[in-house]
Structure 1
Amino acid sequence: MSRLRALWQASLNATKRALTWNVDDLIPPSEKSIFNFNSKEELKRWHLYSDSEYGGLSSASLEINNVGNGLKGIFSGHLSLDVAEDSKWNIRRGGFCGMRSKKFDGFIDLDAYDSIALKLKGDGRCYISTIPLARYLPTWRGNVIDAELEMNPSRILGMSLSVNAEGGVPGAKSGPGDFRVELEWIKALRTE
């Protein structure tokens, strides 16, 4: 008889929970973790790209290292404007590297959020990953695409961070040479 009573009580408790909803349950948290660069497993979620795919001489790496007070992702490499003489591609110069997340299982829904925050330590270069979701810019190989595209924040397939040897904000380090940025996490935030 006690087994039947326990089953009945569990059913009654589930019914009570279903009938007594809380408005706070409908509001997503103010932040959502997307990536944490605190384990070597995180490396499996990213792949690198650079102008070397087209005959350029830039190179990039992504590692998880113990830096200061914990593990961090280190995106680093070398930017070169030069192109290999035997390149089959018709490009005149190189100068970009990036890291792109592998596609999420399906997609990630960021509709409840208005910003993307990255905790990182840079090297003075300008890295491309526009922050307010409403102003996210489509990019290709480290350059902003001049197109009228609207992003659907409820169906995000992936994210990237890239660096270009030329351009950027005034005062930022530019030109060929080494780059390095330490990444701790990437989150979606609701700031409004």
Structure 2
Amino acid sequence: MARFRSLWQASLNATKRALSWNLEDSMLPTERLVSSFNSKDSISLQRLGSIRRYAGPFARSKLQLDGVKDVIAVASGKGGVGKSTTAVNLAVALANKYNLKVGLLDADVYGPSVPMMMKIDRKPDITEDKKMIPIENYGVRCMSMGFLVEQDAPIVWRGPMVMSALEKMTRGVSWGKLDILVVDMPPGTGDAQLTITQSLQLSGAVIISTPQDVALLDARRGVKMFSKVEVPILGFIENMSCFKCPHCGEPSYIFGKGGTRKTADSMGHHFIGEVGCIVNFRTGVVQSSWQVK
């Protein structure tokens, strides 16, 4: 578990550097940075151990994807907190900064955003055994329902159709060999979320939240959902933690200060770090500029 937390802390830090996140040192939890990372460790996840070590009794009925070492869910209790943006940046950071083989599954069926963020506008190819081949960009193999529909087409499906689509995007995809598959979860705690958590062998979940109380309340619900299906929480990431003035550099805590850290501490979970409201972050989403330096 500590190894996973270190990996995500390191990838988050790489993302901050790529986005020129230069707040004062107090904003960066340096005590949890991965100073001990070496090139050999960053390429291999073997020390993480078996997925079954974390999955508990639910693992007997869960799908283990062929060739995929570990599956990480990036989740939020509500929409609009930057979950997908953070998931994409973390996936690209893991692939480019640490030379890992990374996949990204966009499980947000109703609002797929990975195609735009990863600058992919074509349909996946199909193997001889009728499985979809993930489309790779920025070093990450991607799969999304957005690849199969028009960009602005509404997806007005009832529950059974959504469950069928999620089944197809897990069992019906030829991922190849991956160190990590990052799953961009749908927001909330409904049927779609339960389908994923109960059908895939998840190594752990990362919770994304903004600092305000309403978002944190929903984040708590998400944590409890994962706890019920015995998926360990790897940690919390606070998005939109503050706005840094481009002129004077003074941070403004628009949504309050430290709410996500306090929530993580109160629930006994690890706090990974903060990502502020950064202009480069927004333009990076629009321009699909995910290069990690």
**Band the TM-score falls in, shorter-chain normalisation:** under 0.3
**TM-score (normalizing by structure 2):** 0.21
* Max Rg structure: 1
Which one has a larger percent strand, Structure 1 or Structure 2? Answer: 1
**TM-score (normalizing by structure 1):** 0.27
Which one has a larger percent helix, Structure 1 or Structure 2? Answer: 2
